[in-house]
Amino acid sequence: MAETWNADICVIGAGAAGLVVAAGASQMGADVVLIEKGLMGGDCLNYGCVPSKALLAAGRMAALAARAPAFGVTLGEPNIDFARVQQHVSEVVAGIAPTDSVERFTGLGVRVIEDDAVFTGPAAVRAGETTIRARRFVIATGSWPAVPPVKGLDKVPYLTNETIFTNPGRPGHLLILGGGPIGMEMAQAHRDLGSAVTVVEMAAPLGREDPELVDILLTRLRARGIQIIAGAEAVEVAARGEGVVLTVEEAAQRRELAGSHLLVASGRAAVVESLDLEAAGVAYTEAGVQVDQRLRTTNHKIFAIGDVTGAQQFTHVASYHAGIALRNILFRMPAKVNEQAIPRVTYTDPELAHVGMTEAEARAAAGRIGVLRFPFAENDRAQTERDTDGLVKVVVGRRGRILGASILGAHAGDLIHPWALAITAKLKLSAMAGAIVPYPTRTEVSKRAAGSYYQPALTSARTKRIVRFLARFG
């Protein structure tokens, strides 16, 4: 039976962005309707951050066996039960799922509709037999895997991040189309779990990141047995037996790569097709829904947040967008997005983390800059763990202003946070250099990098003259 609901806010999409808005608005007294046609928790919980990190964790357990002899411990060859690995991934997702469930949000006072959402006008949405009219709408439909126009791809079975975590058997040889964060993380996980892995990237692998640190990472991954082919275009895919053959063109030469499975990890596309945004007066492009700095669409009663905007597609960005939208909708605060201090992490081994400007971006924007480096090889904690690959690299502007930082090394995703805080708070290097950090920890690397900025002045001839002069007075 058709019915009409009225609400303060209607949220479309129950991924990270939509759930934060729905929970926050409801707990602060707003009447909220949440519409989700798929799984609660969206991509992050079901197909992205959570299962990928669970799979990586399993791979690292297996990789420990190879490192153990250096510590005087022999573990032997790991026996990998891939079905049990997949069960571990499922158990991790299931353990988090109640936090994102329909039951929890209903308990918070949110009215949840499990159906497709279609705009019927600038201030109304239809979901199944229900029409929702709301003062404000929030589009948080996220993104899904983009499929490249490769000949034959539509005729062979292939995996994406939405299907790889339920793949029943361990791939004998996993071909990965795309050398971005998803592709490199899945390469790492499957290689550690015993699969042969080949990554094909048309441009440069991890092309957004600092090339100096990427080169170190790729050397490490290749040493682990991952074949990485850069600057190669995928031109055709065909089935062969129970596997696939990927034809690539590299330096005007074609060659065939045979594998048991193919993972397409060549980018993400905003989920907008079924919404009928034209009826709502909302403009969008192939990149996503168009928004201003307040995350308002071309219809100012409708906001768009998270992946669907084509912004940096991370869960923490989605949550950040949700906070901006809530301040604008509930409190009429003209809050705006500031992307200068959004960190990102690729969870390979070692991890690669970044915040702010890269060296190339800083040189283009600021011209004269300084670059500070400090290697993990000179960090005592890294030495005790026999894991010394990588470094911290900091880009500095005038008078010690921190422009950006990149870290390659174990736990880089955790270590990047102080740099993100420093950029957000507009702190100078003196704050990082003067911080007291526990010993022995990897956080000392950041402190030492910051301190190196002041080293030339502290050891200069002028400083030495001052010390000798003051010594005369006892």
Residue found under tokens 């979901």: 127
pLDDT confidence of 1, banded at 50, 70, 90? low
Burial of residue 84 (number of CB atoms within 10 Å: 0-12, 13-18, 19+): exposed
> Both tokens of residue 369?
């800059």
Q: Considering the chain, what is the average pLDDT of its residues?
A: 95
Residue 71 lies in a domain: no
Quick one: 122 and 250 in the same domain? no
pLDDT at 456: 86
Asked if pLDDT for residue 367 goes beyond 80, the answer is no
Tell whether 361 and 319 lie within a shared domain.
Answer: no
Residue where a domain stops, chosen among 296, 331, 366: 331
CA-nearest of 385, 307, 329 to 21 is 329
**Quick one: which H or E segment has residue 61?**
helix 49-67
Domain count, the chain: 3
pLDDT, tens only, 164-202:
999 989 999 999 999 999 999 999 999 999 999 999 999
Q: CA 103 to CA 99: how far, in whole Å?
A: 9
Return the axis-axis angle of helices 315-331 and 16-27, rounded to nearest 10°.
Answer: 30
Question: Is the pLDDT reported for residue 246 higher than 90?
Answer: yes
230: pLDDT strictly greater than 90: yes
Helix (H) or strand (E) holding 409: strand 402-409
Question: 198 and 174 in contact (C-beta within 8 Å)?
Answer: yes
Cβ atoms of residues 265 and 107 within 8 Å: no
Look up the domain containing 197 and give its range: 153-266
76-101 average pLDDT score: 95
- Residue 274 and residue 261 share a domain: no
Give the range with max mean pLDDT: 189-193, 454-458, 469-473: 189-193
Total Cβ atoms within 10 A of residue 37: 17
> Band of the pLDDT at 293, cuts 50, 70, 90?
very high
Taking Cα atoms as reference points, which of 64, 63, 44, 54 lies closest to residue 84? 54
237 and 277 inside one domain:
no
User: Residue 323 pLDDT > 80, yes or no?
Assistant: yes
Number of CB atoms found within 10 A of residue 471's CB: 8
Q: What's the one-letter identity of residue 89?
A: V
Asked whether residue 72 is domain-assigned, the answer is no
Percentage of the residues of the chain whose pLDDT score is greater than 90: 91
Domain co-membership, 362 together with 257? no
CATH at residue 200: 3.50.50.60
Cβ(320)–Cβ(293) under 8 Å? no
Same domain, 135 and 169: no
DSSP sequence for 3-32: EEEEEEEEEE--SHHHHHHHHHHHHTT--E
Distance of CA 61 to the CA centre of its chain: 22
How far does Cα 230 stand from its chain's mean position?
21
Count of other CB atoms within 10 angstroms of residue 199: 27
